[in-house]
Amino acid sequence: MVLSGKLSTEVGIKTPADKFYKLFASELHEVQNVCERVHHTKLHEGEDWHHTDSVKHWTYVIGNHVSNSTNLITKSSFYLI
């Protein structure tokens, strides 16, 4: 069974906006060192973490369940609205 759709949530953060933006804009590989629920990140394909068409693998915890995810960011999904 495969589920498809969007998942969104709101999370309170206790850091300046520019530091939070920098984490996702240029230091995405450091998320595992900042977030206790992300246990492992790995770059499978691509030049680096911040180029489009790179494939990333994530291991994280939701509730008490360990999950794995593989993500591909394409040019069409790269832009923020």
51 in any annotated domain: yes
pLDDT at 68 over 70: yes
| Domain range enclosing 45 | 37-81
Residue 57 is predicted with a pLDDT of: 83
Our count of domains for the chain comes to 1
The model's pLDDT over 12-66, given as tens digits with 9 standing for 90+, comes to 878 888 888 887 777 777 877 877 788 888 877 877 766 777 888 888 888 888 8
20 in any annotated domain: no
And the tokens for 41?
A: 């990140």
User: Which residues have a Cβ under 8 Å from the Cβ of 40 and sit 6 or more positions away?
Assistant: 32, 57, 58, 59
54 in any annotated domain: yes
